[in-house]
């Protein structure tokens, strides 16, 4: 089963690509980390209780106001929580690290369960939709990484402000910065393409309209299928030892790619 890592940054069009891949003619299973992140902090869950315990005493509006609060508790006020964790100052970075330490392990567990279910079903490919794919090191699991990016940062900010008009310019900028520079993610995807005949990294530039983006998605899937055809993954499914060997090799190869990336980044910084 091919794992396709899908990443980008806020307001670059990642959700649009995710929807395209889930719909005909592709019909791929999409495991959405953002949706899982919401599920693992719903009232009554362990994640919810940990968040309330840490943030509640210093965030009076952490929970939504309700006329009648259910026994498991009121839902989280995500806007209030976002104001606590989005930004570059030390306090926000610390709070974001705490939130991530609560949410990420639960999301990973849910993700692995979904991957196992897709493998059992015999899926040719599954999409891991993860905003922080590289930062969480989940890219090492993926045979191919798709990055949805924009060349012009102003396009990203304009889309975010149009989508979420309640955000101030500062809030919008903080949210963009919290997910890293999408152009760096694009460079990392392109750096994966070191082996002839493979499609390990694809960048979908989304400075235009949805039709142009859909054309890029179609071309990318055609490339990926040519390099990693469904019959090959059916063979891996029928021969689990071979499948495990290929998965181990993919993990090792991606680790080597990342080592080269970081070494090159260090070399560039040293020469500045």
Task: Let me know whether 165 and 81 are in one domain.
Answer: no
Supply the pLDDT for residue 272: 67
Same domain, 253 and 168: yes
Mark whether 130 and 11 lie in a shared domain: yes
Tens digit of each residue's pLDDT, the chain (272 residues): 899 999 999 899 999 999 999 999 999 999 999 899 999 999 999 999 999 999 999 999 999 988 888 889 999 999 899 888 888 889 898 999 999 999 999 999 999 999 999 988 888 899 999 988 998 899 999 999 999 999 988 888 888 888 888 888 888 888 888 777 899 999 999 988 876 567 899 999 999 999 999 999 999 999 999 988 888 888 888 888 998 899 999 999 999 999 998 998 888 888 76
Judgement on whether residues 91 and 216 belong to the same structural domain of the protein: no
Statement to judge: residues 14 and 39 lie in one domain: no
What strands, in cross-sheet order, belong to the sheet with 125-129? 29-32, 125-129, 2-7, 144-149, 201-205
Of 104, 122, 140, at which residue does a domain stop? 122
CATH number at residue 146: 3.40.50.300
Supply the pLDDT for residue 143. Answer: 93
Q: Are residues 73 and 135 in the same domain?
A: no
**What per-residue confidence (pLDDT) applies to 215?**
96
pLDDT given for residue 265 in this prediction: 86
**81 and 185 in a common domain:** no
Domain count for the chain: 2
Question: What pLDDT is stored for residue 169 in this prediction?
Answer: 85
- Please tell me whether residues 90 and 117 are part of one structural domain: yes
Asked if residue 192 and residue 111 are part of one domain, the reply reads no
Q: Are residue 112 and residue 62 in the same domain, yes or no? A: yes
Q: Which structural domain range is residue 221 located in?
A: 1-28+124-272
Last residue of a domain, one of 98, 122, 146: 122
Q: Tell me, yes or no, whether 90 and 102 share the same domain.
A: yes
Boundary (domain end) residue, out of 88, 122, 156: 122
The model's pTM is 0.86
Residue 196: the pLDDT is: 58
pLDDT in tens, 103-118: 999 999 999 999 999 9
């Amino acid at each position: 089963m091919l794992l396709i890592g899908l990443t980008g940054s806020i307001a670059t069009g990642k959700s649009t690509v995710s929807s395209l891949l889930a719909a005909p003619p592709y019909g791929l299973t999409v495991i959405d980390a953002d949706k899982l992140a919401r599920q693992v902090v719903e009232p009554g869950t362990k994640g919810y209780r940990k968040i309330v315990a840490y943030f509640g005493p210093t965030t009076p509006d952490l929970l939504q106001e309700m006329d009648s609060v259910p026994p498991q508790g009121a839902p989280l006020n995500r806007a209030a929580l976002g104001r606590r964790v989005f930004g570059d100052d030390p306090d926000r970075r610390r709070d974001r690290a705490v939130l991530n330490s609560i949410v990420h392990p639960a999301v990973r567990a849910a993700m692995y369960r979904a991957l196992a279910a897709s493998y059992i079903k015999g899926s040719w490919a599954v999409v891991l939709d993860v905003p922080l794919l590289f930062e969480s090191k989940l890219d090492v699991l993926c045979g191919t990484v798709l990055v949805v990016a924009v060349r012009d940062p102003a396009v990203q900010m304009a889309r975010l402000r149009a989508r979420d008009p309640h955000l101030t310019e500062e809030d919008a900028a903080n949210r963009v910065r919290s997910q890293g520079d999408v152009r760096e993610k694009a460079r990392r995807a392109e750096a994966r393409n070191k082996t002839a005949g493979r499609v390990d990294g694809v960048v979908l530039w989304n400075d235009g309209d949805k039709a142009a983006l859909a054309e890029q998605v179609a071309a990318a899937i055609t490339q990926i299928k040519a390099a990693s055809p469904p019959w090959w993954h059916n063979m891996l499914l029928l021969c689990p030892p071979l499948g495990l060997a290929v998965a181990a090799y993919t993990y090792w190869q991606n680790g080597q790619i990342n080592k080269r990336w970081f070494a090159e980044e260090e070399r560039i910084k040293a020469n500045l």
